[in-house]
Amino acid sequence: MTRTRSEASRAFTLIEILVVVVILGILAAVVVPSFANAVEPSRHASFATSCRSFAQAMQYYRADTGEWPPDGTSGVTPPGTEDLLDVDAFETITPVGGVWDGESDPMGLGYGVGVHFDGSGETRDAAYMTVIDEMMDDGDLTTGGFMQFPGNRYYMVLIGD
């Protein structure tokens, strides 16, 4: 059985296949870094959105009961807030690592909700968290509504009478 000339012209040559592979490789080299650069900003935004949502739930609790939720364990939903927030989301690792935490009267400031880097997931430093503070507040972890606290904790501070 011999191939006719028309059957041979329908097949790709090795050179044509190599050219296509090289072009795809170049396109991948251009596209992949732009996707990789989008990961961290999306983590920052997701963390900020969740933190604001949890803070709002704590404020609802206070408006309803007249007091802040009691202290709990890091990574565990504060007692009494189960109906106000997404328990599954609160009890998982945050988008930036660490676990969610609610803290009554952190450093005498009211109530704090944020992240406790307790070894769960990736641990972030103050430089990383300053970028998030710039999104949420004033970009200074020692002042404003989002602050750094001892024990590798970063909270959105809720102040109330």
pLDDT, one tens digit per residue, over 39-89 is: 889 999 999 999 999 999 999 999 999 999 998 899 999 999 999 999 999
120-141 mean pLDDT: 94
How many CB atoms sit inside 10 A of residue 93's CB? 14
Which tokens sit at 11? 């097949």
For residue 102, the cross-strand partners are: 113
Task: Report yes or no on 34 lying in a domain.
Answer: no
Amino acid making up residue 127:
A
Q: What is the domain range of residue 102?
A: 44-158
Average pLDDT, the chain: 89
pLDDT at position 30, please? Answer: 83
Amino acid making up residue 78:
P
Task: Report yes or no on 15 lying in a domain.
Answer: no
More confident: 19 or 161: 19
Task: Report yes or no on 19 lying in a domain.
Answer: no
How many domains in the chain?
Answer: 1
For residue 104, the cross-strand partners are: 111
Which tokens sit at 148? 């750094």
pLDDT higher than threshold 90 for residue 97? yes
Amino acid making up residue 123:
T
Task: Report yes or no on 21 lying in a domain.
Answer: no
107-122 mean pLDDT: 90
Yes or no: say if 113 and 94 are a contact pair by the CB < 8 Å rule: no
Task: Report yes or no on 68 lying in a domain.
Answer: yes
